[in-house]
Amino acid sequence: MTVKDIMDCLTQEAPLSWQEDYDNAGLQVGDLNNFTQKALIALDVTEALVDEAVAKSCDLIISHHPLIFRGMKHITPRTDGERAVIKAVKHDISIVSMHTNLDNSYVGVSRVLAERLGLRKLQLLQPSPKDAEHCGAGMVGELEHPMKEREFLDHLATCIGSPCLRHSALTGKMIQKVGLCGGSGSPFIPDAIRNGVDAYLTADIKYHDFFAPDGLLLVDGGHFETEQFTKELILRNIQKKFPTFAAEIAETNTNSVHYFCKQ
C-alpha cells in the first residue's frame, strides 16, 4: 500500500481541514505515492526516533507532533530536527504527522485520555463551528463515583504515569465532573468553568493561570503525559482498516521533560 492509503485512513475521522491555522499536520517528508511496508508510531520525531525506524526497517514514521512545524531555513546537521530530516531522506523514510486535526477530533487525543481516566457521558469541551458534533477542543465527562481531591490526583497520576502533578489550591469539593484537554489546553480554562466541571486537566499551564476561580481544581499533568495515548489511538485506527499492515509503537522515549523528585 502507499503512504497516501495510510494517511487517508488516519484522516477519515480527523480531516486535515480540522487542523489549526498555525499547524503543519500531514505529510512532512517523502512522497504520498511511496509504497510502505512498515510504520513506526511516536509522539515526536527526533534523530533517535529515526535511528529506531532505520534499525527496524520502517519506511514510514507517523507522529503526533510535526517534525517541521515552524519551518526550517536550513537542512544541515546543526540541530536534532534537521538531522532527523536528513536521515529520513537518506533512508527513504516518509514522515506523516496527525496534530491538531487529531486534537480536534471527537474520537481523538482528548477522548482517548478521557477513556483512560474512566470518564463517562463524554462530550466536546468546546465544539467547533466546522462540525459541532465531531470537531472541537477538549472533552468533558464524569467519573463513575465522586472522589476526594487527593484521591482524584492519585488516580490521575496513576493513569498517566506521572511522577508529580502541578495543581491549584485544593477546594475541599468532591470531584465527579471533569474537563480535560490533552497537551496545551490553558486557553480552554474558561470553557471548563462554563461547563461547570469540578476539575480540569491539561498541560503547560502558566503560573497566573493557577489563580482560577474558586471551586475549580486545575491540574497540569504534563504535555507528553496527557498526549502519550495518542500513539495507541493511531495504531488502533490503522489496524482496524489494515489488520495485516506492519505497524508498531516506538520504544524511543521522546519526552523532552525530565523530572527530579527529591526523596
How many CB atoms sit inside 10 A of residue 26's CB?
Answer: 17
> Are 160 and 226 contacting, i.e. CB atoms less than 8 angstroms apart?
yes
Per-residue pLDDT of the chain (263 residues; tens, 9 = 90+): 999 999 999 999 999 999 999 999 999 999 999 999 999 999 999 999 999 999 999 999 999 999 999 888 889 999 999 999 999 999 999 999 999 999 999 999 999 999 999 999 999 999 999 999 999 999 999 999 999 999 999 999 999 999 899 999 999 999 999 999 999 999 999 999 999 999 999 999 999 999 978 889 999 999 999 999 999 999 999 999 999 999 999 999 999 999 988 87
Q: Which residues pair with 263 in a beta bridge?
A: none
> Are 67 and 81 contacting, i.e. CB atoms less than 8 angstroms apart?
yes
Between strands 166-167 and 136-147, the pairing is unpaired
Residues present in the chain in total: 263
CATH of domain 104-227: 3.40.1390.30
Range(s) within the chain of domains with CATH label 3.40.1390.30 = 3-102, 104-227
CATH of 3-102, one of 1.10.3720.10, 3.40.50.10540, 3.40.109.10, 3.40.1390.30: 3.40.1390.30
> Are 219 and 233 contacting, i.e. CB atoms less than 8 angstroms apart?
no
| C-alpha distance from residue 71 to each of 66, 75, 86, 96, 221 (Å) | 10, 10, 15, 15, 28
C-alpha grid cell, residue 97: 504527522
